[in-house]
Structure 1
Amino acid sequence: MKQKAAKKPQKSLYNPRKSKVSIAGAAWFHEGLISALAGRQEEAAQFFQVGAELGSAEAQVALGYCFQKGEGVEQDLEQAVSWFRKAAEQEFAGGQVILGYCYHKGLGVEQDLEQAVSWFRKAADQGDGEAQAALGYCYNKGLGVEQDLEEGVSWYRKAAKQGYAAGQSGLGYCYMKGEGVEQDVEQGISWYQKAAKQGHAEAQFNLALCYENGTGVEQDAKQAVFWYRKAAKQGNAKAQSKLDELVKKKKKHADQ
C-alpha cells in the first residue's frame, strides 16, 4: 500500500553535515532520479523528500510530481502544490511553470487564471520554453490576461525558436489563421511539421487536416492518415474521429 508521506532513509544515511546543504540536496535528488528510472518509485519519493527538505528546488518539483501523480506516495494534489510553490519561490523556472499549470487547471488549488499567467511569466522571463508557449496560449485566447494576438505570437515564437513543440504548434496555428501575424500558410505548415515530428499531437492533427484538404500542401490521403494515426495513438479524440470517418468513406467507395 502506498504511503501518505514519503519516509526518509535510515538516519545513518541522512547526514547533511558532510557537505553544504545545496550540494547535499542535489545529491539526494540525483539518487531519486536513479531510483525512479529503475522503477523503484517509493524509494525515489523517499530520496526526493530528503533533497526537498534540504532545499533542492529540483527535488521539490520531483516530489511535487510524485504527490500529483500518486507515484511512490498516496496522491495528494494539495501537497503537490505545496512543494511546487517552494521551488517556485526559489525562482526555479521548473517550479514556476508547473505551479502556473496548477492554477490554470485548478489542480490542488482553486483555479485562478491570473495567478497562472503570473507564474508563467516569471518562468518565461527566465527563458523557459514551456512557460513561453503557455503564456503565448494565454495571450492568444485571453485567459487570465487581456487578449493580445501579437503578444501571443511573440511568446510562441520565443518558445518555437528554442525547439519547444507547443510553441511551434501555436506559432503554426497563428500563421495558418493570420492571428497576430500576417497569414502565411507555408510558414504555418512548416511550424506544424516541426512540432508534429517532435510528437506534438495537436500539430499532428492539424498537419493531417492540411494533407486531407490540400491546404498549403498537395492533397495526400496517405499522409493525412499517417498523421491522424500518430495523433490518435496519443489519445487525440479529434484524430480518432477523423480516422473513423475516412475508414467509412473508403468502405463506402469500395462497396459501390
Structure 2
Amino acid sequence: MLGSLRTALFALTLACSGSTANAADFDKGLAAAQAGDFATALQEWRPLAEQGDADAQTSLGWMYRNGVGVLKDDAEAVRWYRLAAEQGYAGAQYILGFMYSNSEGVLEDNAEAVRWYRLAAEQGYADAQFNLGVMYRKGDGVLKDDAEAVRWYRLAAEQSNADAQSNLGFMHSNGEGVLKDDAEAVRWYRLAAEQGNAGAQSNLGFMYTKGEGVRKDDAEAVRWYRLAAEQGYADAQYNLAVMYRKGEGVLKDAALAHMWLNISSANGKEAAGELRDFIEKNMTREQIAEATQLARSCMESNYQDCG
C-alpha cells in the first residue's frame, strides 16, 4: 500500500529560518507560543508579518490554520502562507500546496498544489518532494508519470523521509517507474519500518512471508506485522491473523487469529470480516466470546493489551 499526501504540520520550534530582520521580537513570540501564551505570540508576530517578515507570516498562517490564539480561519491562513511563499519560504510553499490539494481555505486546485510543491521541492524540502511524488504517481495536477514519482520519492527518501522510503520500496517491489528489484524494495521498506512507518512494516513483513528480496522467515514476518498491527494498520492485522491461523512463525492460536481478524475488520478490512466469519464455524460459542473479549481489550488499551 502506498502512503498518501503527507499531512501539513507546522512545528513552532522550526518556524524561524534565521532570516528575520527582527529576530529578537520573533523569538519573543516563539517563546511565548511554546509556553502557551498565544496572545503575546500574536502581539509580537503580527507587526512583523505586516512588515513582510516571512517567518512571522508563516507563523500567523499556522495560528489561523490551527485555530491557536485566534479563531480558526483557513482563508486567512492561506493569505499569510501565500505572502511568505511568494518570498520563497519553502515551508510556506509546501503548506500552501497542501491546502490547495485538500481544499483548505481555497478551492481545490491540484495544478496549483503541484506548482507550490515544486517550488518547495526544488529547494530540497523533503515533505514537498514526497507530496510532489504522490501527485505524479496519481496524475493529480500533472500527467501521471511513475518515473518522475520515483525521482521525487528518492530525493525525499535520501533525506530520511519515511513515507517516501516506504513508497519508493513499493515502486521497486512492483516495478513501477523503475526496474523491479525486491532486494532494493526491502532496503527502502526496512529504512522506513525502522522509523515506525506502519505501511512499510507491514510490507516488510510480507516480503519475509514470501521470501522476496530476503530469505523467507515467518518469525521475522510476524515481528514486523505485529509492529504495524499495534499501530492500528488493518492490512498487518489481517496478515498477523493469518499467521496465527496457520501457525506460521508463531504458535497456532484460533483465538488470537479471530481477535486480529475482528480488529482488522473493525478498521475497514473487508476480507478480515469474511475470514473471521469463516473460522467461527469451527469455534464454540465460548471460544468466540473469549476471542471477542480479547479484541475488545486490545482496542480499548490502544493495542497495549493484545493477548
Shorter-normalised TM range = 0.7 to 0.9
Q: Paired residue for 1:75?
A: 108
TM-score using structure 2 length: 0.69
Could you list the per-position Cα deviations for residues 17-54 of structure 1 after superposition, in whole angstroms to 9, with x for gaps in the alignment?
Answer: 74753x23442343244338975444433443333333
Could you list the per-position Cα deviations for residues 62-119 of structure 1 after superposition, in whole angstroms to 9, with x for gaps in the alignment?
Answer: 2222222223322222222222212211110000001101111112221110000000
1:34 pairs with one of 47, 66, 69: 66
Question: In 1, Cα distance between the equivalents of 2:124 and 2:144?
Answer: 22
Q: Paired residue for 1:112?
A: 145
Q: Cα offset for 1:121?
A: 0.4
Question: In 1, Cα distance between the equivalents of 2:83 and 2:52?
Answer: 14
SS of match in other structure, 1:90: coil
Number of residues of Structure 1 aligned to a counterpart in Structure 2: 239
Q: Paired residue for 2:271?
A: 238
% of aligned pairs identical?
39
1:92 pairs with one of 101, 125, 137: 125
Distance 1:203 1:108, change over 3 A: same
Question: In 2, Cα distance between the equivalents of 1:54 and 1:231?
Answer: 46
Cα contact 1:25–1:55 (8 A) shared by 2: no
Question: In 1, Cα distance between the equivalents of 2:99 and 2:277?
Answer: 37
- 5+ residue gaps, structure 2, are 1-45, 286-307
Matches within 5 A, 1:215-234: 215-234=248-267
Distance 1:181 1:75, change over 3 A: same
State the AA in 1 paired with 2:81. F
Cα contact 2:62–2:77 (8 A) shared by 1: no
Cα contact 2:111–2:141 (8 A) shared by 1: yes
Q: Cα offset for 1:228?
A: 2.6
Question: In 1, Cα distance between the equivalents of 2:279 and 2:106?
Answer: 44
SS of match in other structure, 1:153: helix
Matches within 5 A, 1:190-229: 190-229=223-262
1:101 correspondence with 2:130? no
Distance 1:71 1:231, change over 3 A: farther
State the AA in 1 paired with 2:196. G
1:174 pairs with one of 183, 189, 207: 207
Q: Cα offset for 1:197?
A: 1.1
Question: In 1, Cα distance between the equivalents of 2:76 and 2:261?
Answer: 39
Cα contact 1:61–1:87 (8 A) shared by 2: yes
Question: In 1, Cα distance between the equivalents of 2:76 and 2:282?
Answer: 52
Q: Cα offset for 1:179?
A: 0.6
1:164 pairs with one of 184, 197, 215: 197
Q: Paired residue for 1:58?
A: 91
Cα contact 2:65–2:74 (8 A) shared by 1: no
Could you say which structure has the larger radius of gyration? Answer: 2
More displaced, 32-41 or 187-196?
32-41
1:132 correspondence with 2:165? yes
Question: In 1, Cα distance between the equivalents of 2:259 and 2:87?
Answer: 48
